[in-house]
Structure 1
Amino acid sequence: MMIRSTGARYSAGQCKFTVWAPEKGTMQLVIEGRPVISMQKDDDGYFTAELNDITPGSRYRFAPDDGECYPDPASHYQPDGVHGASAIVDHNAYDWKNTEWKGLPLKELIFYEIHVGAFTPEGTFEGVISKLDYLVALGVNAIELMPVSQFPGGRNWGYDMVFPYAVQNSYGGPDGLKALVDAAHARGIAVFLDVVFNHIGPEGNYLRRFGPYFTDQYATPWGNAINLDGEWSDGVRSYFCQAVLHWYENYHIDGLRVDAVHMMFDNGAVHFWELVSEELNELRQRMGRNFYLIAESDLNSPRVVRPPENGGWDFDAQWLDDFHHALYVLLDPDGRDRYEDFGKIRQWAKAYADGFVHSGEYVNFRKRRHGASSAGISGEKFVVFNQNHDQVGNRVGGERLSMLVNFERQKLAAAAILLSPYLPFLFMGEEFGAQTPFFYFVSHSDEELIQKVVEGRRREFENYKWEKDPPNPQDEETFRQSKLDWSQPETDRHALLLRWYRALIALRKSHPALRHFAKNEVDVNVVNDACLVLHRRSADQREELACVFNLGEEVAEVCLPGPGGKWVKTLDSGDAEWQGGGDSNEEVGKTLTLEAGRDFIASSSVAVYER
């Protein structure tokens, strides 16, 4: 299949306009301040027009069948919002400073999720740039931006986006995003975007005016499913495949996190993600830079990260929700109300050793068996987290983990992901135990739609057993409360927790055992109902770490892995340095000389030993 580019492609004073509308008879290009231009249609349903005397920033629309004018479905910029005209963007005009950037190896990435609007007081790309040095000091080397494709209004999670190619105008537009990417690369930070290809938001969605982008054959909880395998689907597949390539080529993005890939339905002989894989591999060779695809998937299926020749979708990694669920219920007993199928220490041990906890077992929540085994799949194929926008925002009070569990358990949770054989992922503010909530928020203009969002929000998450309605997503105060308070990292235990995260990240980056991702060389020993030992080895087997997690309320006696050798405690959240309980019997730096080391681990703490 040949991938066709659509939109306004500008270069050196010339611009080619292309729009796909296979069932339309005519198409007009309407440029502000110019006569209307009739576009030419080819056999594949693409209308084109070329101009030699036009400048970047010019506003334009398309008029199908001599009717109403609409923005370009492949618009690269909507300076006046989702209902306004599209604007021509000259991607060659931006003066990139870090042209030698080649990206970072996947195994080295430590992710940090950011909502651009809520991360800083400014709520812009420029605001994010002002915090990059802070992230460098933390040790983060990859930021993941919640969706920045154009959405209605000025505040939104971004999953209601309606222009997959356009950069949100209120954040800073195309040049603002490029400046952020350039500044991040200058500091050794990769930039990932969260993108939504499983549905298109309701307000400002004009795709139906042009072509059969949607199908009634499938359904999603958020809107019409995308037509990837029905009649006229070639043009739809090309449109979304080109969107992936667009962020890589024009914005120097290092990768995409793709939202809810299980809601992208394709029963064709060549799956959509197989098509994307082929196109991406060609572009990678030409660009000479790393580019990764990370999936959010509810399938618990290894095929998401398998290569196409093995029947897979060829994602570089996928989110491991089971890790979060298994750990969270152990950290917060109230979590059993939300995740009824979790709560056993052996499930968390399985998450460390195999990956998917549900790998074919019967799951009460789903009323069926769910998942397949991921044992043997290398650890860098999974992303783990204690918090993300969903886990926080889908609570009635928008509570972060730091608002649900005590300080000791926050330290333990941080160690759980940063010492894991997976790619760690932090949610903005997690590293200093932010006490600001993170709510779901929107800023639509249609009153009927606003009411539908409020009601739909209530229905969608009724399984979470909310005892009251969440705050109104449309209310600006809901958004304002969700902004981080940047005075907190400098105070009391917030500052101490921040230092703890920095110590863990430094250990992860420096110790060979934490840079080895072969899960078949990861041992997990369950000590009791609340305690386990995670045993990590370097690739050459010469260096070892034993990470002991005690989630119980009592001191636990633990035998470290044997035989032989001497274990040295290198980090202990229960130590006085970290304002712990101090009821371990061995101090940091003291050698345990027993054939197999034995220690007493403080309640709600983690200790790390090196052999």
Structure 2
Amino acid sequence: MNDGQFGPRLTIDGTRFRLWAPAAKRVDVMLAQPHAMTRGEDGWFTADIAGVTTGARYKFRIDDEIDVPDPASAFQPDDVFGPSEVIDHKAHPWRAADWRGRPWQEAVILEAHVGTFTPQGTYSAMIERLDHLVETGITALELMPLADFAGSRNWGYDGVLWYAPESAYGRPEDLKALIDAAHLRGLMVMLDVVYNHFGPEGNYLGRYAPSFFTDAHTPWGGAIDYRVGQVRAFAIENAVSWLRDYRFDGLRLDAVNAIVEPGGLSLLHDISAAAGKLAAETGRHIHLVLENGDNRASLLDADEDPPQGKYRAQWNDDYHHAWRVLMTGEKQGYYVDYQQAPISDIARSLASGFVYQGEPSAFRGGRRGEPSGHLAPTAFINFVQNHDQIGNRALGDRLESTADVRAIEAGLTVLLLSPSIPMLFMGEEWGSKSPFPFFCDFGGDLADAVRKGRRVELAWAYEAYGDEVPDALDRSSRDAAVLDWNEPTTPAAQKRLTLVRDLLKIRRKEIIPRLANATFGEASADENRLLTAHWRMGDGAMLWLLANLSEQAISHPPDQSAGTLIWGSELGDSVPPWTVLWRIG
């Protein structure tokens, strides 16, 4: 059931319970009656209890003072404050038993939040929409974090029980059924995981294992001390558990630049190596990707298969930010770094990955990034929207609310045919107008603190919009984010969906077969916002891009690029506004 150090393990006649509680003097397993645990070396407590099997619910009592859930609980049927449930992961009857995944070059990602993907907000309800993803051309479904959080609604980044899938969405077998159904349709499923902090409510580790934390702080709470062997193992085993027990095809590690590692310890390397070992043992394709504000190209290698310490790709925020500024003129926050020439920033990203490769960042107050042009284009996951870039806005509004439709469609045409890995946010494929504001379900003083903090952080927005700024704690904020599945039947949505599907058909036919061993080429943009770029594909062919990313026609000699036109129409002596052409040959 659990092949690591943490969590209960089923035995021939019962269950062995384990808890690392170095600060506790006594620990009891609370079942129908308490069972004293034996303290061993390094603060480990164990108890072998006969007759206890799958479905049993238990807690740990610490020093006769407080009852807590298992930090490695496999399921919390009554949320994070209730008892943990013993789960036998090996008993699940997988139907797609022969599934081994798909190569990374085939990835076309759709990011989704389980709780708002459907009105029901469950794992089971998502299954009904998988065929839509396949018909659209999506090959990988990426789920926002599922580690159990306090309350019934949350983005997922406040998880406190890392091994337990969120109970508000269903049971572990429901999540496995979703993944199984996706695999039967040829869809990969990836999971967002958070190893830089624990959520603010429902975490008791500080009481019995204070060495989990350092004196340092992240933007979201106390920093985790990965110098401690047991703490490091807790995260590594968690990553392997999602990949092994649920058969996720990969993980996206959230904000790794916020993982505090005194002494230079590489937790990231250890997680990659452990996942690579599992991939080698099972013959599966396992894909690990990062979100990393530091733009550390040295952590990436799209071709390392199986992983041996590095990561397939990184979410490329630079690419998004440049496009957002170009399309909307945004100036708040980190967009200040892309004001000078967003069209040139887009060209730099298309030519070599990151925009910031060691240059000074005004927003960050120092140099940011490492050279990245030597990497494969597939080491970058590009997007023009994601949960952060919608939800961290004051109103949670999508691009559809602020940008010219022609600009959005040009952005999608560049995104979906370029050699980097493309990602869409749920509903983006049809131009959804559903907002995605930040929401959570805390109570008492914590709820008040969240409200107060947002009013300080978004003071300008409250001054501009007043009561229009959603209350993150109100259920209506979550309800507003639920996708409207009637929306795709409208004419505008049908037009957008047809565009995305047609582009992904071209990608599947012309781009994906040539992605292995593709390399960056060159890109440039002039003062009129005429963009040109080319890449050498893995079969030796050249992929060419010509795009007018402006509102005026641009005089231009007839396109002399070699190769066959795979998207767009032949031009005369000018390029119409927001026109994108792709050639290959």
> Which bin holds the TM-score, normalised by the shorter protein?
over 0.9
Distance 1:288 1:11 in 2: 28
Partner of residue 16, structure 1: 16
- What is the deviation of 1:314? 1.4
Q: Does 1:603 align with 2:573?
A: no
Equivalent position SS for 2:262:
coil
CA contact (8 A) 2:519 2:536 kept: no
Q: Tell me if structure 2 keeps the 8 A contact 1:513–1:537.
A: no
Tell whether 2:301 aligns with 1:301: no
| CA displacement at 1:432 relative to structure 2 | 0.7
Question: In the alignment, which residue of structure 1 is the partner of 2:507?
Answer: 508
* 2:319 is aligned with 1:323: yes
Task: Map 1:342-381; keep pairs closer than 5 Å.
Answer: 342-343=338-339, 344=341, 345-381=343-379
Distance 1:386 1:392 in 2: 10
Shift of 1:201: 0.6
- The alpha-carbon deviation at position 560 of structure 1 amounts to 6.9
Amino acid at match of 2:291: E
- Cα offset, 1:517, TM superposition: 6.2
Letter in 1 for 2:80: V
- Deviation track 1:412-459 (CA, whole Å, cap 9, x = no partner) reads 111121122211110001111111111111112x31100111222344
- Inter-CA distance 94–213: structure 2 relative to 1 (3 Å threshold): farther
SS at structure 1 position matched to 2:135: helix
Please tell me whether the aligned partners of residues 139 and 502 of structure 1 are also in contact (alpha carbons under 8 angstroms). Answer: yes
Larger mean CA deviation between 150-159 and 402-411 belongs to: 402-411
Q: 2:454 aligns with which of 439, 454, 457?
A: 457
2:210 aligns to what SS in structure 1?
coil
Q: Distance in 2 between the 1:604 and 1:95 partners?
A: 51
CA contact (8 A) 1:360 1:373 kept: yes
Aligned mate of 1:247, from 237, 242, 245: 242
- Relative to structure 2, which stretch is displaced further, 504-513 or 463-472? 463-472
Q: 1:602 to 1:491 in 2, by over 3 A?
A: same
Q: Distance in 2 between matches of 1:126 and 1:323?
A: 34
Percent identity reads: 36
User: How far apart, in 1, do the equivalents of 2:392 and 2:239 lie?
Assistant: 28
- Given the superposition, is the C-alpha separation of residues 513 and 600 from structure 1 closer, same or farther in structure 2, using an over 3 Å criterion? farther
Change (3 A) 1:109 1:66: same
Once the two structures are TM-superposed, the CA of residue 56 in structure 1 deviates from its matched residue by 1.3
Q: Give SS of 1:225's match.
A: strand
Tell me what 2:149 maps to: 151
Give the partner amino acid of 2:335: Y
CA distance in 1, matches of 2:470, 2:518: 42
Q: Deviations over 1:229-264 (max 9, x none)?
A: 2xxx11111111110111011101111111111111
- Matches of 1:124 and 1:38 in 2, distance apart? 38
TM-score, with structure 1 as normaliser: 0.89
Residues 528 and 466 of structure 1: CA distance in aligned 2, closer, same or farther (over 3 Å):
farther
CA contact (8 A) 1:326 1:347 kept: yes
The amino acid that maps onto 2:567 is L
TM-score normalized by the length of structure 2: 0.93
Contact 1:514 1:537 in 2 (8 A): no
Q: Give 1:10 shift.
A: 2.5
Kindly tell me: are residues 55 and 326 of structure 1, through their superposed partners in 2, closer, same or farther at Cα, counting changes over 3 Å? same
1:148–1:158 Cα contact (<8 Å) kept? yes
Shift of 1:288: 2.2
Moved more, 98-107 or 454-463: 454-463
Counterpart secondary structure, 2:582: strand
- Summarize the alignment of residues 36-435 of structure 1 with structure 2, pairs less than 5 Å apart: 36-229=34-227, 233-268=228-263, 270-305=265-300, 314-335=310-331, 339-343=335-339, 344=341, 345-435=343-433
CA contact (8 A) 2:78 2:167 kept: yes
State the alpha-carbon separation in 2 of the partners of residues 605 and 186 from structure 1.
38
1:174-218 per-residue CA deviation (whole Å, 9 max, x = no partner) reads: 011100000000000011111111111111111112202543432
CA 1:322–1:101 in 2, change beyond 3 Å: closer, same or farther? same
Residue 303 of structure 1 contacts residue 313 of structure 1 at CA under 8 Å; is this kept in 2?
A: no
Unaligned runs of 5+ in 1: 573-587, 593-597
Equivalent-residue separation in structure 1 for 2:236 and 2:446 (angstroms): 30
The number of aligned residues is 575
Question: 1:486: Cα distance to partner?
Answer: 1.0
Q: CA deviation at 1:512?
A: 4.2
What is the deviation of 1:508? 1.0
CA distance in 2, matches of 1:118, 1:315: 29
**Alignment partner for residue 435 of structure 2, among 415, 432, 437?**
437
Contact 2:272 2:310 (8 Å CA) reproduced: yes
Runs of 5+ in structure 2 lacking a partner? none
**Distance in 1 between residues matched to 2:63 and 2:310, nearest whole Å:** 40
CA distance in 1: counterparts of 2:264 and 2:319, whole angstroms: 33
- The 1:123/1:313 distance shift into structure 2, 3 A limit, reads same
Contact persistence 2:506–2:566 (CA under 8 A) = no
In the alignment, structure 1 residue 448 sits paired with structure 2 residue 445: yes
For the residue of structure 2 that corresponds to 1:508, the secondary structure is helix
For the residues of structure 2 that align with 1:523 and 1:208, how far apart are their CA atoms? 52
Q: 2:206·2:213 contact (CA, 8 Å) conserved in 1?
A: no
Give per-residue Cα distances to partners, 1:569-604, cap 9 Å, x unaligned.
4423xxxxxxxxxxxxxxx3x6x8xxxxx6522102
Counterpart position of 1:579: none
Cα 1:510/1:42, change in 2 over 3 Å: same
